[in-house]
């Protein structure tokens, strides 16, 4: 799925919801065995219950890579369950130079055929370029919401903060059709400033829901003419219920978020 196709899907569903599949065996519903086989069963049910309200799915690869070859298989099978009218994100946070970067890009964007991948830009342009060579979307870490973001991202660089300089420079390496930026939902007050730097790019905004981010604030400050937002909710949706109704509960929560989003798109 391209960014243009994503924009059309947002208009059709009146939604900019991204569901995060950060599936943890220990947090599966009580009736499911705490085994890796249950991860795929759980993911399939979540996707079926939420895809009419979501326009994107983000697979946090660490939750699957921990299981080695079996985890990669589950990740691939999960990806196959996602409808083709939904944007797919490999939340892998890669970022390396030379052949290493090329191999990461090939793994996720060619062999697994994700629509996009998250990358870290802090090794510079030659660590991002390999991911731009497949005609997919590179989602660059811009401003994160963890407490450690204060260690480096907010450091002054001339009249800018480091994260502002990074976003400004990285944006020149691509364009709004092949590049997005991650901005944490708990940094919503910074979205207005970031929009001044990248007015046309999509922003992937994790942290709404269980992490305390405000959908209203993110939407008010972040929406542009093409929506320009993918708001991710993971735990707040997929673990809404620990019972046998887990998928139904996930669907209800997704519908609630979609309805709130529709109001901002009218």
- Crossing angle (nearest 10°) for helices 36-50 and 246-265: 40
From residue 235, give the alpha-carbon distance in Å to each of 78, 80, 146.
17, 22, 16
Q: From the candidates 14, 93, 102, 106, which is the catalytic residue?
A: 93
Distance CA 132, CA 90 (A): 14
Is residue 205 a contact partner of residue 185, using CB atoms and an 8 Å limit?
Answer: yes
Contact 208, 183 (CB under 8 A): no
93 is catalytic: yes
Rounded Cα gap, residues 91 and 98, in angstroms: 21
Catalytic residues: 93
């Amino acid at each position: 799925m391209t960014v243009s196709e994503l924009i059309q899907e947002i208009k059709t569903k009146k939604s900019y919801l991204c569901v995060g599949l950060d599936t943890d065996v220990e947090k599966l519903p009580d009736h499911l065995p705490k085994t890796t086989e249950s991860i795929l069963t759980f993911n399939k049910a979540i996707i079926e219950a939420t895809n009419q309200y979501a326009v994107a799915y983000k697979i946090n690869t660490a939750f699957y890579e921990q299981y080695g070859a079996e985890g990669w298989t589950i990740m691939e099978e999960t990806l196959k369950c996602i409808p083709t009218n939904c944007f797919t994100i490999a939340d892998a946070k890669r970022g390396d130079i030379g052949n290493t970067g090329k191999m990461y890009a090939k793994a996720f964007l060619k062999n697994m055929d994700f629509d996009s991948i998250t990358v870290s830009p802090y090794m510079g342009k030659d660590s991002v370029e390999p991911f731009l060579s497949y005609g997919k979307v590179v989602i660059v870490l811009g401003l994160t919401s963890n407490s450690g973001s204060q260690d480096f991202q907010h450091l002054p660089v001339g009249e800018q903060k480091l994260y502002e300089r990074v976003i400004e420079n990285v944006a020149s390496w691509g364009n709004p059709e092949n590049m997005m930026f991650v901005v944490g939902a708990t940094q919503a007050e910074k979205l207005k400033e970031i929009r001044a730097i990248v007015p046309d790019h999509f922003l992937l905004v994790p942290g709404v829901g269980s992490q305390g981010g405000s959908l209203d604030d993110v939407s008010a400050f972040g929406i542009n003419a093409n929506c320009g937002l993918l708001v991710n909710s993971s735990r707040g949706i997929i673990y809404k219920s620990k019972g046998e109704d887990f998928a139904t509960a996930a669907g209800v929560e997704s519908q609630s978020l979609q309805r709130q989003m529709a109001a901002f798109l009218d």
